[in-house]
Structure 1
Amino acid sequence: MGRVVLVTGAARRIGGRFVRRLQRESDVDSVLAVDVVPPDEPLGDAEFVQADIRHPSIGKLVVGRAVDTVVHLDVGGGPSAGRRSRAAVKETNVIGTMQLLGACRQAPAMRRLVVRSSTHVYGGAPRDAAVCEETTVSGTLPGGGFAKDTVEVEGYVRGFARRRPDISVTVLRFADILGSALDEGLAGYFALPVLPTVLGYDPRLQFVHEDDALDVLALAAGEPRRGTLPDGTFNIAGDGVLLLSQCARRLGRPTLPLVLPALSWAGTALRTVGATDFSPEYVRLLTYGRVVRTSLMRDMLGFEPRYTTAEALAGFARRHGPGLLPPRAVARAVDRVQEAVRP
């Protein structure tokens, strides 16, 4: 008998692609795609269940359908997150995860749980570690927003793993995913015609190609290889690092350096009009940057990304077209700005 896999957040682009990919796995018998809103794209032969994971009825679905694998991608809000209040998004992230874990805990058929997390759990401050490992604890943990939600979600997942040691639990901390959709973190920001930046800062950034994100999710959710299960928490990022100024050059987009308070105000305005989710955690990221070590991803999880950070950005640029300025013109403009603010 094949496996029964439940995927939350199926209405998002990456969730939908993952649902369609699962149907090609020979050992998967059926896929339950769950989200609070219908998907914009067809999900193949998967069964779409329009449900709110905050509601206790999610337990009937997990237990009643003998689900053995849950891939929880609905952390951070779905496609309608920008139209919902912060309170509603937090409830989906935290309360929804609690309800889902409660359902998994009561499900006798459960064997595997995969949870999407984020490198935002490391926070963002000038004295933070230059390179974050899975065991790194920031001196300034996130105080609000999606980053704080993610920290809470991981805490509940660790508690679940202690109560159900018979279930394989894998947490994937993704750097920002770049692909064809604009509902993923920095993707909406990079699609802006002009990139607002923090005056005097040029943060280091890492990215994950959307195809690599799907590959590592499939690996974590699949049958164990060589008799081992990919348990644990893993940083997921493409090789290499790019400065924000380098990203602007390669995208052909001019930058607009602002003092930090002005950038926060601009972010609030962009978020209000629905242009992009320019939340406080992304203001911190665009100020101080973040780099993670991925040795555990290779050595323990056994995953090797196909795309580097630079290649993920290049693929994004091809999909979403050139910016307002040729890359060389952007490079000259950025150089002039850097020279002007250099001490």
Structure 2
Amino acid sequence: MTKKQKPTVLITGAAGALAQQVINRLRDTYQIVAVDFRKQTYLSDDIPSYQINFNKRVFEDLFRKYEFDGVIHLGRITSSEETRMRRYNANVLGSQKLLELSHKYGIKKVIVLSTYHVYGANAYNPALIDETAPLKAAELTMDLIDSVELENLANIYLWKYRDLNITILRPCNIVGPGVQNTISSLLSSKRAPVLAGFSPVMQFIHIDDMADAIVLSYEKNKSGIYNVAPEDWVSYQQALELSGCSKLPLPSIPPSVPRFLAKTMNLKIFPAFLLNYFKYSVVIDGRSFNKTFGFKVKRPLKEIFRYYKEMKS
């Protein structure tokens, strides 16, 4: 086998806009191998790309073939994409297989993308939630159990196998061009639902800034758990106004009513399992990440909302 010219990095979730932004930032310095559970994505002739189930034996063949130096795991499947069982198999069992193979083949750096949703949304959340706060999302909804279990799994490997140098990132709402998550769909729509009597404070990070944060955390190689969020925030209803959305008020009590209306009106962009996040503020403290990695966002909120407003014109 010939000596590798560049370090080789495995990036999961390659079909997603965030992974593609990360790949674009790393491709000149690293040999990239892209994989995705959902579909195969052509990136360029010099980047091998695979649609692969992490739980299948062929996944291990990639570790043998490419001798990865690092892994950036961005392939967490959201609740809107798959059934609960398929999501669990991919997010939890698939991630466990990925971490086992990383340990087996001597990987020296692993990034795991999580989400601020793991903290849960309730009326008793502190004003700023730091990384030591308990992960309460699994108590509130079954649809976020796999997100919490993925985090717990990464935590186990973080402390058990220090040689993997695992960094777990918990970003706030990632938005911007190409992002297809719940909040981006809401900001993109001409009419967005709001719960009467509620307008929680929210944080938003531009996809470009999040890609920068991932690259920075990979290259600086400091293990641990970090929130990733800017130091400013805005209420949900104000975010809609700034994005040029008109509001569609839904009654908020009893809790079954907004769930029923969202389903009846086919509001797929307002999933029932996230309703509490549109009632209660979940504001995370990103200062530890900013200080440790020297990170500062470059795209302010006004730029984020201007993008969504201009989409509608």
TM-score, normalised via structure 2 length: 0.89
Letter in 1 for 2:58: S
**Cα contact 2:172–2:203 (8 A) shared by 1:** yes
Structure 2 residue corresponding to 1:163, chosen from 154, 160, 164: 160
Gaps of 5+ in 1: 323-343
Can you list the C-alpha shifts for 1:148-175, whole angstroms capped at 9, x where unaligned? 2221111111111223211211111011
Task: Indicate which of 94, 98, 101 corresponds to 2:99.
Answer: 101
Q: Deviations over 1:95-145 (max 9, x none)?
A: 11111111112112x110001110001101111212111111266654435
Once residues 7 and 146 of structure 1 are traced to their aligned partners in structure 2, the CA distance between those partners, rounded to angstroms, is: 25
- Classify the secondary structure of the residue corresponding to 2:290: helix
Rounded to whole Å, the distance in 1 between the matches of 2:240 and 2:83 is: 31
Contact 2:110 2:166 (8 Å CA) reproduced: yes
Query: CA deviation digits over 1:320-342, x for unaligned, max 9?
Result: 224xxxxxxxxxxxxxxxxxxxx
Mapped partners of 2:163, 2:35: distance in 1: 25
Amino acid of the structure 2 residue aligned with 1:102? E
Aligned to 1:265: 260
| Larger displacement relative to structure 2 (238-247 or 258-267) | 258-267
In structure 1, the residue corresponding to 2:99 is in which secondary structure? helix
Change (3 A) 1:44 1:86: same
Sequence identity, in percent?
22
Determine if contact 2:52/2:59 at 8 Å carries over to the other structure: yes
Matched, 1:251 2:243: yes
In the TM superposition, 1:1-343 aligns within 5 A as 1-25=5-29, 28=30, 30-39=31-40, 42-43=43-44, 45-77=46-78, 82=80, 84-108=82-106, 110-137=107-134, 141-222=138-219, 224=220, 229-260=221-252, 261-268=256-263, 276-318=268-310, 320-322=311-313
Q: Distance in 2 between matches of 1:162 and 1:289?
A: 31
* TM-score, structure 1 normalization: 0.82
Report the AA paired with residue 232 of structure 1: G
Whichever residue aligns with residue 100 of structure 2, its letter is G
Cα deviation for residue 249 of structure 1 reads 1.3
Q: What one-letter code is carried by the residue in structure 1 that aligns with 2:175?
A: L
Q: Over residues 214-267 of structure 1, what are the superposed CA-to-partner deviations in whole Å (9 max), with x where a residue is unaligned?
A: 101111122x3xxxx321111111231111121121122111221233322244
Map Cα deviations across residues 159-207 of structure 1 (whole Å, 9 max, x no partner). 1122321121111101111111241231012222211111111110100
Secondary structure of 2:163 counterpart: coil
Structure 2, gaps ≥5 residues long: none
Note the C-alpha offset of 1:61: 1.5
Classify 1:277/1:98 alpha carbon distance in 2 versus 1 (closer, same or farther; 3 Å): farther
SS of the residue corresponding to residue 134 of structure 1 reads coil
Post-superposition Cα deviations, 1:269-297, rounded to whole Å, max 9, x if no partner, equal: 57xx6x74533442111111211111101
C-alpha contact 1:194 1:256 (8 A) present in aligned 2? yes
- Aligned AA (2:144): A
